[in-house]
Amino acid sequence: MELINSAVGATSFIGALMLYAGYIYTNAYFGYFHLDSLAMGFSTFELVMRSLRLAAMPALEVMALALLVPAIPRLLIALRLPERHLRRSHELGRAIARAYLGFVAAGVVLMLLWRWIQPYAWSAPLLVAAGLLLGQTRAAAPASESRRSSWERTVSLSVAGLFLIWVVALVAGQLGRQDARRDTDQLVRRVAVVVLSTDPLSIAPPGPHVEDLGRGAHYRYRYSGLRLLIERDHRYYLLRLGWQKSTDPTYIIEDDDTIRIELRPGTQTRALDQGCSRYSETAQPFRLGCR
């Protein structure tokens, strides 16, 4: 039962942390495009799935290292290293653990320098959390101080947990904004959208290219030069080519009887044997001067 309770507790904590990280990431990403992620109605499952964006190689390496560090003494013994190397490794480990206050102090100093350490501000709470966790190890305190009250340990672990959650929030927000900037730079590669409307849409310039197809066309007005950000509940969130965060809006088009949405491939580059051609959303190639 104790094992089951521990597994359930760990699973609940990880699930809540993934939900929190997914919300922070999603809010930062769509906030870059002037959108409120709560108003867009993402489900819990979608937020948890978006939190997997944090499972990049650096994060996985740090997690693997954190799991490996407590097992280093057993690993060294299994490798049958000479006694003097084992003794030196133990001494090094004790020295690092006893310097836990230095980790906390370094983190506090970095927090005072917050505006000058961007985009690595997450290192400040990470150092504080690492110091608090090291302070709970047996090697961190002499034998006379090894007996600490459960209240002190609970407070230290709780504060360390809060700082770790802060680290996750900082990293998730940074990744969300970073991915949004990258997608903006590569906007031409996203799905191209053509909006056909029976009535003119109230889109202020600079906006998409507008064509009047004449009175004989049911969908008279054609809007092109748009790219799809996301589609949710028959609402298309669109950006114009050349979108700029500081000046341009994000268009929200609801698909109904007066609107027809056409989705087309974005710009693609295809290398040929005797040259190269670039295909636009109108599927009309034009030659490029390349060898």
Asked whether the beta carbons of 265 and 192 are under 8 A apart, the reply is: yes
Residue 289 has φ and ψ, to the nearest 5°, of: -80, 85
pLDDT at 275 over 60: no
First to last CA, the chain: 70
Q: For residue range 63-117, list pLDDT tens digits in order.
A: 666 666 666 666 666 667 677 766 777 777 778 778 888 889 999 999 999 889 8
> Residues near 176 by Cβ (< 8 Å), separated by ≥ 6?
24, 25, 26, 27, 28, 29, 31, 32, 53
Q: What is the dihedral of CA 229, 230, 233, 238, to 10 degrees?
A: 10
Most confident by average pLDDT, 137-146, 166-175, 203-212: 166-175
Give 249's DSSP letter: P
Q: Facing residues of 272 across strands?
A: 275
Q: How many residues make up the chain in this entry? A: 291
Q: Write down the pLDDT at residue 5.
A: 73
pTM of this prediction? 0.77
Distances (CA, A) of 141 to 100, 108, 124, 134, 247: 10, 21, 23, 10, 57
Give 187's DSSP letter: G
- The count of other CB atoms within 10 Å of the CB of residue 225 is 16
Answer with the residue of higher pLDDT: 274 or 234: 234
pLDDT band at 276 (very low <50, low <70, confident <90, very high): very low
Residue ranges per structural domain of the chain: 2-55+99-185, 187-265
Q: Long-range contact list for 106-112, CB < 8 A, 24+ apart?
A: 106/131, 107/131, 107/163
H helices of 32-82, where?
37-40, 44-50, 57-68, 72-78
Q: For residue range 28-73, list pLDDT tens digits in order.
A: 999 999 999 888 888 889 898 888 888 765 666 666 666 666 666 6
Tell me the helices (H) and strands (E) count for the chain, helix number first: 9, 9
By DSSP bridging, strand 285-287 and strand 221-232 are unpaired
Helix (H, G, I), strand (E, B) or coil at 263: strand
Asked whether the beta carbons of 225 and 258 are under 8 A apart, the reply is: no
C-alpha Rg value of the chain to the nearest Å? 27
Q: Is 44 left (phi over 0), alpha (psi -120 to 50) or beta?
A: alpha
Asked whether the beta carbons of 32 and 179 are under 8 A apart, the reply is: no
Residue type, 17: L
- The count of other CB atoms within 10 Å of the CB of residue 163 is 21
